[in-house]
Structure 1
Amino acid sequence: MAGHSKFKNIMHRKGAQDKKRSGMFSKLSREITVAAKMGLPDPDMNPRLRAAVNAAKAQSVPKDNIQRAIDKASRSDAETYEEIRYEGFGPGGVSLIIEALSDNRNRTATNVRIAVSRNGGNLGASGSVSHAFDRVGLITYPASVGDAEKVFEAALDAGAEDVTSSEDGHEIWTAQGDLHEVVKAITPVLGEPEGAKLAWKPQTMVEVGEDDAALLFKLIDTLDDDDDVQTVWGNYEVSDAVMEKLA
């Protein structure tokens, strides 16, 4: 679940779609289970669970799968997942924050380290790059929800801080502590969001050339294939011209 929609649209090959879909279902189900275990198993009473369920629905996860993931949280034999954050650098000096949910810290650390080192990057110590990101709330809507002006006005009225709109959809940014209140205020206007979660927003961007971009996307794709890795955040910026060459 890397945070670069153009990359995901262009780089995911048709032959890998079934595998990607299965992996996405697994990640979303894991987040649902963790959210249900950390709070109440009722999405109406648990903002993190509600956001996880909405994200799963947006990706067409079957209702039975969603309910099983919720029910799994209350079972005595359910796995215990740990939230882990890795920080490091990718090709072209890009800063990366890798978030994982794991039931085996050693396995996850090994897999992440190998993926990063084999694709032109290296992991750093905790805090090595997160100081260059802001911890904020991120609410996402598809482009079909309305035009940029409509979404901007709704977000502003709901207490959001910033909005980014493109042909891929709308990203609404909030202060870290305001995320769930903004979701509550904006839902009656725009409907349930595709996603609502805490995010890492880079303070400055690094433009990446063709060679580094190709290696960076390979790194992100490798991390995305790991069941333990939930999200990869980065401060990379790739021009449309380079994206077209890599398509």
Structure 2
Amino acid sequence: MGRKSAKIAARKGAADKAKGQVYTRALKDVFLASKSGSGDPDTNFLLKVAIDRCKKFNVPKDNIERAIKKGQGGDGAGYEDINYEGYGPGGVAVFVETSTDNNTRTVANVRSYFNKVKGSLGQTGSLEFVFERKAIFTVPVANVSDADEFELEMIDVGAEDIEVDAEFYEVSGPVESFGSIQKKLEEIGVTPEEATLERLPLNFKAIDDEDTKNQFFRLIDLLEEDDDVVTVYHNLEKTKNGNNKRVILRSPFFIHDI
């Protein structure tokens, strides 16, 4: 294979990997929405949002239906949500959300990923003062007809902060406001791009050494490739193009955050 062909193959491989990550995350959102409510998108608003996102990224219909069935317990297995907290290379805090039918398998896998990069898995609650949980709704600007009225309605139902750029509103509030914001969006006929409970860093940790940084990203990749892992959060210091939640569905081929 020539040098040019090798570069093309490498780029295609990276794009295929990123596309696979988007598929995996989108389907996990379908599974979680189905698990937390009904399997009917007409009565489960979060499931409708998750399915719409899958369709946007051309996730096959059969995969979506399997994720819904899995969430409803159709495979006969019971899943529980378990979180893991630890520190990766450079002392960066890493919070891992999982949904598993075999906790013994999941904890062994997660621990092995931290060990491979000389990180450490901590006790539950060890990152209590590193992350705070927030309700986050990402709404396309095109879905909002009156910006001022929309912002007032969001504040009335508990939103603490509303940011907007050329494409999206990001509405955030305390966890307790999730249901009221969701209900108001349904009432006014506005469908969000994403509706999630996220863990946002309260402080950040910088990594200056490139080898350490590469090891950190290796840990994140290992975690995200695990079928039991739902979302990975960290407090690596952001750059101008950074984002502390690694999976960014609005940018499907954006692999790393710096």
Letter aligned with residue 154 of structure 2: A
Hey, what does 2:171 align to over in structure 1? 172
Hey, what does 2:154 align to over in structure 1? 158
Residue correspondences, number:
231
Pairwise CA distance, 1:83? 1.0
Letter aligned with residue 237 of structure 1: E
Cα distance between partner residues in 2 of 1:55 and 1:126? 32
Cα distance between partner residues in 1 of 2:239 and 2:30? 35
- The 1:25–1:242 alpha-carbon spacing in structure 2 relative to 1, beyond 3 Å, is closer
Hey, what does 2:203 align to over in structure 1? 204
- Give per-residue Cα distances to partners, 1:22-55, cap 9 Å, x unaligned: 3543443344234324322222322442343244
- Give per-residue Cα distances to partners, 1:3-32, cap 9 Å, x unaligned: xxxxxxxxx954133344335434433442
The DSSP-based 3-state class of the residue aligned with 1:22 is: helix
Cα distance between partner residues in 2 of 1:242 and 1:75? 37
Hey, what does 1:128 align to over in structure 2? 126
- Structure 2: runs of 5+ lacking an equivalent: 1-9, 244-256
Flag the structure with more relative contact order, 1 or 2, with Cα contacts below 8 A and sequence separation at least 6: 1
- Give per-residue Cα distances to partners, 1:69-105, cap 9 Å, x unaligned: 3244456533322211000112222211101122221
Hey, what does 1:185 align to over in structure 2? 184
Aligned with residue 64 of structure 2, among 41, 66, 70: 66
Hey, what does 2:96 align to over in structure 1? 98
- The 1:165–1:71 alpha-carbon spacing in structure 2 relative to 1, beyond 3 Å, is same
- The 1:185–1:78 alpha-carbon spacing in structure 2 relative to 1, beyond 3 Å, is same
Cα distance between partner residues in 2 of 1:175 and 1:153? 21
Cα distance between partner residues in 1 of 2:178 and 2:26? 19
- Give per-residue Cα distances to partners, 1:94-126, cap 9 Å, x unaligned: 211101122221221122111122224211000
Hey, what does 1:233 align to over in structure 2? 233
Hey, what does 1:78 align to over in structure 2? 76
Cα distance between partner residues in 2 of 1:46 and 1:220? 31
Cα distance between partner residues in 1 of 2:69 and 2:242? 45
TM-score normalized with structure 2 length? 0.72
Alpha-carbon contact 2:99-2:230 (below 8 Å) kept:
yes
Hey, what does 1:220 align to over in structure 2? 220
The more displaced of 63-72 and 219-228 is: 63-72
Q: CA RMSD in A?
A: 3.5
The DSSP-based 3-state class of the residue aligned with 2:199 is: strand
- Structure 1: runs of 5+ lacking an equivalent: 1-11
Cα distance between partner residues in 1 of 2:139 and 2:184? 14
Pairwise CA distance, 1:168? 8.9
Hey, what does 2:110 align to over in structure 1? 112
**Structure number with higher helix proportion:** 1
- The 1:157–1:13 alpha-carbon spacing in structure 2 relative to 1, beyond 3 Å, is farther
- The 1:74–1:86 alpha-carbon spacing in structure 2 relative to 1, beyond 3 Å, is closer
Letter aligned with residue 158 of structure 1: M
Cα distance between partner residues in 1 of 2:226 and 2:125? 23
- Give per-residue Cα distances to partners, 1:124-145, cap 9 Å, x unaligned: 0000003322121112246x75
The more displaced of 205-214 and 125-134 is: 205-214
Letter aligned with residue 216 of structure 2: L
- The 1:178–1:210 alpha-carbon spacing in structure 2 relative to 1, beyond 3 Å, is same
